């Protein structure tokens, strides 16, 4: 388990293009309707930019400031340049997240790390299941019926209500 996860942590793991983000944007409002305060950590394999070339924050970061905190009346972003380019570890990122006002942390990606996950699987993608090699997968949300030994709970990937109910009842044991 993650040393710096002080509240429940649940991942959504799948190959790129399976629909992790789309499903999460459907599930999050359903969980929030139940009063849950939710954070999300998304792992990106891209060199993303939060600010844009020409903007003050971009210019100051390019000048060498790190971290740079960009803040308004609506939101805050803290951009920190890593001294060494390497894959991030989820537990290191959890250490930086204020979890005191949260009930659940959802994670998109970090599929190789050890923490509870729901695997997303679409038959049309013709990709292998992650489940047989990852004992931390507690359910598989799929668009087909899977017949494998000791398969964890199967959920319909096209029914976000079913997945939200599973999270509430089986994972969080709230209902």
Q: pTM for the full model?
A: 0.90
Say which CATH number the domain at 24 has.
Answer: 3.40.50.300
What pLDDT does 33 receive? 97
Are residues 167 and 133 part of one domain?
Answer: yes
What pLDDT does 13 receive? 96
Q: Does residue 110 belong to any structural domain of this protein?
A: yes
Mean pLDDT of the chain: 91
Are residues 163 and 152 part of one domain?
Answer: yes
What pLDDT does 128 receive? 93
What pLDDT does 82 receive? 83
Are residues 117 and 166 part of one domain?
Answer: yes
Residues of the chain with pLDDT under 50: none
Are residues 142 and 80 part of one domain?
Answer: no
Strands 76-79 and 68-71: antiparallel
Are residues 119 and 72 part of one domain?
Answer: no
Residue 106: Cβ within 10 Å count: 21
Are residues 92 and 82 part of one domain?
Answer: no
Q: How many domains does the chain have?
A: 2
What pLDDT does 86 receive? 84
The dihedral formed by the CA atoms of 21, 127, 86 and 115, expressed in degrees to the nearest 10: 70
What pLDDT does 28 receive? 98
Closest alpha carbon to 172 in 40, 43, 34: 34
CA distance 45 to 47: 7
What pLDDT does 45 receive? 67
Are residues 62 and 105 part of one domain?
Answer: no
Last residue of a domain, one of 60, 86, 112: 86
Last residue of a domain, one of 57, 86, 115: 86
State which residues form the domain around 38: 9-43+88-171
What pLDDT does 141 receive? 97
Q: Does residue 4 belong to any structural domain of this protein?
A: no
């Amino acid at each position: 388990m993650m040393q710096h996860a002080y509240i429940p942590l649940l991942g959504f793991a799948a190959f790129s293009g399976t629909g992790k983000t789309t499903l999460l944007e459907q599930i999050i409002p359903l969980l929030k309707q139940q009063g849950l305060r939710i954070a999300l950590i998304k792992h990106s394999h891209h060199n993303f930019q939060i600010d844009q070339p020409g903007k003050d924050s971009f210019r100051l970061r390019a000048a060498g400031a790190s971290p740079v905190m960009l803040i308004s009346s609506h939101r805050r972003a803290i951009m920190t340049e890593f001294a060494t380019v390497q894959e991030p570890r989820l537990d290191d990122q959890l250490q930086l997240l204020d979890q005191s006002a949260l009930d659940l942390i959802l994670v998109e990606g970090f599929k190789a790390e050890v923490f509870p996950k729901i695997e997303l699987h679409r038959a049309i993608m013709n990709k292998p299941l992650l489940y047989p090699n990852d004992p931390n997968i507690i359910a598989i949300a799929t668009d087909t019926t899977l017949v494998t030994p000791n398969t964890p709970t199967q959920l319909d990937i096209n029914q976000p209500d079913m997945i939200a109910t599973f999270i509430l009842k089986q994972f969080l044991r709230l209902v």
